[in-house]
A and B are shown apart, each in its own frame.
Chain A
Amino acid sequence: MRDDVPGNTLSVSRRTLLAGIASLPVLAMMGQPLLASDYPTATVNTTGLAVTDDTVKVGILHSVTGTMAISETGSVQAEKLAIEQINAAGGVLGRKIEFIQEDGASDWPTFAEKAKKLLVQDKAAAVFGCWTSASRKAVLPVFEQYNGMLYYPTFYEGLEESPNVIYTGQEATQQILAGIDWVVKEKGAKSFYLLGSDYIWPRTSNKIARKHIEKLGLEVVGEEYYPLGHTQFNSVINKIKLRKPDVIYAIVVGGSNVAFYKQLKAAGIDLAKEKPLLLTISVTEDEILGIGGENMAGAYAMMKYFQSLDNDNNKAFVEAFKKMWGDNIVIGDVTQAAYLGPWLWKAAVEKAGSFDIDKVKAASPGIELTTAPEGYVKIHDNHHLWSKARVGRAKLDGQYEVVYETSDLMEPDPFPEGYQ
C-alpha cells in the first residue's frame, strides 16, 4: 500500500505478552469458548493443515527488516495481541493458536518465498500479513495456487478480489468518497488539488477522487506525482498557491511526508486555517510521529479508524494494546485492521465448524464482528469489509479528533463502476 517508509525494526517492547490477557473484558462479548473435544481433528481438518487436537498453526508475514518494517511493526503487534486474546478466551474451536512469524524483509520475492513456506512447509491454517500492494501482489498467486487464507490489513487501491484473501482495510472508494462528500457539504469545497507519491495506490485513489469530484460538478485544478522519497516540494507548493484550490488532496507517503508537511508550513500555508484545507488518506497517527503534530495540526484524514475513537470496544483495545506494547505507542488505522484479522478468521472457522480453507472461504461472507474497535464490521461477498468512513482532524498532540462519520456502513466496492 503505502510504500518506502524508511526504517527498520522498531525494537518490540519486551514487556510480557501476558499483559494482553488482562484485557479480557473485550472477550466477554464473544460467547462461551468452544471445546476441542466437540470438534474432532479428523473432521475439522480434512486437508492436512497444521491442526492438532489442541493447537492450530497460523502465520504472521510482515517486514521486520528493511524500509517497510517501520510501517508493518504495528500490524505485527496488533495480530499478536489478537491471537493472545483469542487464546486467553479459549482459542479457535477449542484449539490454541500458535503463530509462526516470518520476515518479508521489505522485499517482494521474499514475501512470496515466505508465504510459500508458511503454506507448504508449515501448513498454516491462515496467514495474517502483507502491507504494501506490491507484497500482496507477490504473494497472491501463492495463496491461490496452494489454497491458503490471507488476512490483509492495509487500506489499498482496490481492483482486486481474491477468494483466498480477506481485505480487512478499506478499499479506495470506501475511504475516499464519503470524505469528499463531507468536505464539499460541510466546508463548501469547490476545487481540489490532487497530489501523490508516484505509484499505484495514490494514482488509483486520485483517479477515484477525480471522477467523484467531477461527478459532483466540481473542479480538479491540478494533479501531480513525485517519486517516492522526494523531499523538495517548493515548486508544487507554489503551484498550489497559484491555483488556490479549496482542498489539497494529498497522498504523499514515507519520508516525503515529513518534507511535504514541513515545507507546506514553512511556505506559510497553515493547515489549521483551512485555507486551503488539506485532506489526506495516507497519514495515520503513526506517520504524525515523524511529521510532528505542529506541522500537521488542522489537516483532515479519511480513515475508518482513529485511536481517539470513542466507544467501549476501542477503549478496551487501546488499553490492551498499550499494556502489551508500551504506553508511548500510537495506533493507526492499519494496526486496527490487522487486529481484526485473527478475530474474523476465528469467527469464520467456528461458523464453518472446520479449519478447511474451502469451508472457511465459504463461511466468511456475512461474518460479523461486533467487538471491533472501529465498531461493527461485516464481511461482504467480495471479501472486503463493510465499514464506516470517518474524517478526523489532526491535533497538535498527534492524535485525530473524529469530526465526521457516516451513519451507515459503506459497502466495499473494489471494482467501482464509473470510477475506472
Chain B
Amino acid sequence: MIGDYTFGEFTSILAMQGFAGLILFSVFVLMALGLAIIFGQMGVINMAHGEFMILGAYVTYICSHIVTEYVPGLFPVYFFIAMALAFVAAFALGVLVEWGMIRFLYRRPLDTLLATWGLSLILQQVYRSVFGAREVGVTLPDWMMGSIALTDMIEIPINGLFVMALTLIVSFAVYFILFRSAWGKQVRAVLQNRVMAGAVGINTKRVDALTFGLGCGIAGIAGSAFTMIGSTGPTAGQLYIVDTFLVVVFGGAGSLIGTIASAFTISQAQSTMEFFMSGSMAKVLTLLTVVGILMLRPQGLFTLNIRR
C-alpha cells in the first residue's frame, strides 16, 4: 500500500498505527490485570469481571454529575477522584462477593464460572434498574479531550496518553503490591501452599478476600478509564469478557508478565490487521490465531515448567 502515499505519509501512519496499537495494548492490560490476579493467582474464573469494570464506569459517571452539580471548581481534576472511588467501590463489592460466594467455591473452578455468570446477570439488571437502559456518557474536563498535533498527520490523542500512563502506574502498583510488599509475600505464600501458609499464621481467608478485592478494584479503575474511550451501558461489560480471558490465558495463567506480553502481542496483531483488512475479519483472524496458538501451546506464552 505504500505505492499510493508519500514517504512522509507512510512514516506518519506507521507512527500513528503504532500508537493506536499501544492504546489498545494499554486497554487490554488494564482489562486483563485484574483478571490475571483473580484467575491466574487464585484460579477463580470471574465472569462478572466486565460488570466490575462497568461499576467503575458508573461510579465515574455519578462523580461527574455530582462534581458538576455541587463543586464545579473540582471539575478539571474530578477524574482522579472518580478513579479512586471506582477502585474503592469495585474493591468493596469484590470483597463482599468473595465473602458471600467465591470462598465456598475455591475447589470448583468451573462452578465459579457459572456462579459469577449469574452474578453478572444480576449486576446488569441492577445497573439497568438504577441507571436506566440507555448508554450514558461522561463529560470529560477539557484538558483530557482532543489531541496534541505533532505534525500535520500525527496527532496524539490525550486520552490515549492518559490511558497509557494509567496502565503504567497500575502495572507498577500491582508489581509492588504482589512482589515487593509484605502482604504480597503472604498472597504468594497462600497461593503456593494454602495449608502451610495457614500454619505459619497467615490469615488465608483475609488474604483471599483482599486478593479478590484487588483484582476487582483494578477492574473498577479500568472501567473508569474506559469512559473516556467507549460507552457505558448495563451490558457493555459483556463485550470485554472474551477478549480479557483470551489475553490472560494466552499469556499463561499465573504469570503477570505473560499477561502483559500477551496483551502486547494481541493488541499489535489486531491493530496491524485492522489496518490492512476489515475490522470484522481482523477480529476473527486475531481470535483464530490466539485460539490456534493456544491449541499448540495450551499453557500459554509464559509459564513455569513445573514439576508435578
| A binding-site residues for B, Cβ under 8 Å | 5-11, 67, 69-70, 73, 198, 224-227, 229-232, 234-239, 241-242, 255-259, 262-263, 265-268, 289-292, 294-295
CB of B165 within 8 Å of the partner chain: no
Q: Is the interface of A mostly helix, strand, loop or mixed?
A: helix
Complex Cα distance, B242 from A230, in Å, reads: 12
Contacts of A239 in B (CB 8 A): 275
Complex Cα distance, B235 from A67, in Å, reads: 8
CB of B278 within 8 Å of the partner chain: yes
CB of B279 within 8 Å of the partner chain: yes
Q: Mark B165-188, 1 if CB is under 8 A from A, else 0.
A: 000000000000000000000000
CB of B228 within 8 Å of the partner chain: yes
Count B interface residues, CB 8 Å.
49
Given contacts A6-B235, A235-B271, A236-B274, contact A227 B159 (CB under 8 A): no
Question: Does B229 lie within 8 Å of A7, measured CB to CB?
Answer: no
CB of B136 within 8 Å of the partner chain: yes
Question: Does B23 lie within 8 Å of A234, measured CB to CB?
Answer: yes
Complex Cα distance, B27 from A196, in Å, reads: 23
Question: Does A7 lie within 8 Å of B235, measured CB to CB?
Answer: yes
CB of B239 within 8 Å of the partner chain: yes
Q: Which of B157, B270, B280 contacts A267 (CB 8 A)?
A: B157
Complex Cα distance, B231 from A267, in Å, reads: 17
Q: Mark B111-137, 1 if CB is under 8 A from A, else 0.
A: 000000000000001001100111111
Q: Which of A6, A67, A242, A263 contacts B5 (CB 8 A)?
A: A242
Question: Does A10 lie within 8 Å of B279, measured CB to CB?
Answer: no
Q: Which of B5, B9, B133 contacts A8 (CB 8 A)?
A: B133
Closest 9 CB pairs of A and B: A290-B135, A7-B133, A258-B231, A234-B20, A226-B279, A235-B274, A266-B157, A292-B137, A268-B155
Question: Does B230 lie within 8 Å of A255, measured CB to CB?
Answer: yes
Question: Does B153 lie within 8 Å of A231, measured CB to CB?
Answer: no
Complex Cα distance, B149 from A267, in Å, reads: 9
Cβ contacts A to B, 29 pairs, < 8 Å: A5-B135, A6-B234, A7-B128, A9-B133, A10-B133, A10-B134, A70-B133, A70-B135, A226-B278, A227-B283, A232-B229, A232-B271, A235-B275, A238-B275, A241-B13, A255-B236, A258-B135, A259-B231, A265-B146, A266-B147, A266-B157, A266-B160, A266-B228, A266-B229, A267-B147, A289-B134, A290-B135, A290-B136, A290-B137
Contacts of B146 in A (CB 8 A): 265-266, 268
Contacts of A268 in B (CB 8 A): 146-147, 149, 155, 157
Complex Cα distance, B279 from A236, in Å, reads: 8
Contacts of A242 in B (CB 8 A): 5, 9, 13, 153
Question: Does A238 lie within 8 Å of B145, measured CB to CB?
Answer: no
Q: Which one of A238, A265, A290 has the greatest number of beta carbons of chain B within 10 Å?
A: A238
Contacts of B16 in A (CB 8 A): 238, 241
Question: Does B279 lie within 8 Å of A227, measured CB to CB?
Answer: yes
Question: Does A8 lie within 8 Å of B231, measured CB to CB?
Answer: no
Minimum CB distance partner of B280 in chain A: A198
Minimum CB distance partner of B22 in chain A: A234
Contacts of B236 in A (CB 8 A): 6, 255
Given contacts A265-B145, A267-B147, contact A292 B160 (CB under 8 A): no
**Given A7-B132, A235-B274, A262-B229, 14 additional A-B pairs, CB 8 A:** A7-B134, A227-B283, A231-B230, A231-B231, A232-B271, A241-B13, A241-B153, A255-B230, A255-B236, A258-B231, A258-B232, A266-B160, A268-B149, A294-B139
